Homo-oligomer: A and B are copies of this chain.
C-alpha cells in the first residue's frame, strides 16, 4: 500500500536499513526476528524503513547463517502420474501456509535418482517428504537419520509416515465383487518395489482366503495407462471375470484395451481401480475405484514434518497417520457373467 519509490536495482539488505536508521545491522536483524530484544521505538523505526525499502530477507544468507533453508523437498516417482497431482497440491498449499518453499523432484521411478536427490537435498532442504519410495528399508532409514523425513505410502519402522489405507479398501472392493457374483478374480500388481502394491496384495489375498474365493496375482505392471493393455490381455487370458488393479492408471489402460478387443465392461469383465485419480470419473465406463484423500495426505505429511522440524512444547508429533479410504462404485463393475 505504501507509495513505493522507484526501487534501486539491487534488493535492500539489513545494512541499508541500518544505515537509514543509524543503528547496527545486528540490531536490524534482531528487530525483525527477535522483536523483544529491541526497544519498541527503534523497532518501529526499523520496521518503517524496512517497509519503505520493500525489504525481504535474503533466504540464502539466512540459510547459511541459521542453518535452516526454509525449503522442503518433495520426492515423487513420476510427476505425470495424476495421483501425485493432488498430493503435490496438498503439500504445496500446506508448505506455503507455513512459509516454506517446496522443492519438487521427479525421481523417475529410480532408486538411484531418489538416493542421490536425498543426498543433495540434505544441504538445501530442512526436510523431505518422500512419496512411494522405491528405496530399501535400510537406505530409507539411513537417509532419515541424516535429514528429517516423512514418507507417504511407505511404512518403515522409525520413519514417520502417512499411509493411505488402501489395503483395507481392497477388502471392500473384494466384497463388492463377491456380492456381484464374481468368484474368479485377479489382482493386477504394480511395481515389485512398491510397498503399496505388496500390502494391497497381502490384504487382498488374506481376505480372499477368508471368504473362500480365488484371487490370483498377475503382473507386475508399470503404473501407466500403457501397461493396461498387457494387464487386460493377461486378465482375459487367465479367465477371471473381475480384476482389481494396483492403480487407476492400469485400470484405465485396461478399459481401453478391453474395448479394443470387444470385451464389454462390466458385462464380460469388471474392473476396479485404486486412488480415484483425475479421469476415473469420466473414463468409459466410469471406474469403480478406491478413493483416497490424497490432497489431505499431502497436508498431513507436511504437518508431521513441520512438527518434527519445530518441536513445540505443545503436541507430541504423531509418527504415523492412517488415512481412511472407501470404495467408490461406478460403472466398471457389474454382475458376473453367467457361466456357460
Contact = CB atoms under 8 A, between A and B. Distances in A.
Copies of this subunit? 2
Contacts of A89: 79-80, 106
Interface string A207-235: 00000000000000000010000000000
A323 interface: no
A123 B122 CA distance: 21
A86 B80 contact: yes
A123 B255 CA distance: 48
A154 to B, nearest CB: 22
Contact of A85 (B11, B80, B282, B284): B80
Given A278-B278, A279-B278, A69 B60 contact: yes
B104 A92 contact: yes
Contacts of A63: 60
Determine which residue in A85, A88, A106, A256 has the highest number of CB atoms from chain B within 10 A of its CB, and name it. Answer: A85
B88 A79 contact: yes
Nearest to A249: B278
A42 to B, nearest CB: 26
Contacts of A194: none
A310 interface: no
Given A103-B103, A123-B11, A282 B80 contact: no
A283 B285 CA distance: 9
A124 B59 contact: yes
A123 B101 CA distance: 13
A298 B279 CA distance: 23
Number of contact residues on A: which range applies?
A: 35 or more
A119 interface: yes
A45 to B, nearest CB: 24
Contacts of A59: 123-124
Interface string A99-134: 001111110000000000001101110000000000
A191 interface: no
A64 to B, nearest CB: 5
Contacts of A225: 282
A82 interface: yes
A136 interface: no
A157 interface: no
A61 interface: yes
A56 interface: yes
A80 B89 CA distance: 7
A58 B123 contact: yes
Nearest to A93: B106
A305 interface: no
A60 B67 CA distance: 10
B60 A124 contact: yes
16 contacts: A11-B123, A56-B119, A60-B123, A79-B85, A80-B85, A80-B86, A80-B278, A82-B85, A82-B278, A92-B105, A102-B104, A252-B282, A279-B282, A279-B283, A282-B283, A283-B283
Interface of A: 9, 11, 56, 58-61, 63-64, 69, 79-80, 82, 85-86, 88-89, 92-93, 101-106, 119-120, 122-124, 146, 225, 252, 255-256, 278-279, 281-285
Nearest first, the 9 A-B pairs at minimum CB distance are A284-B284, A279-B279, A60-B63, A104-B104, A60-B64, A59-B124, A282-B283, A80-B85, A79-B89
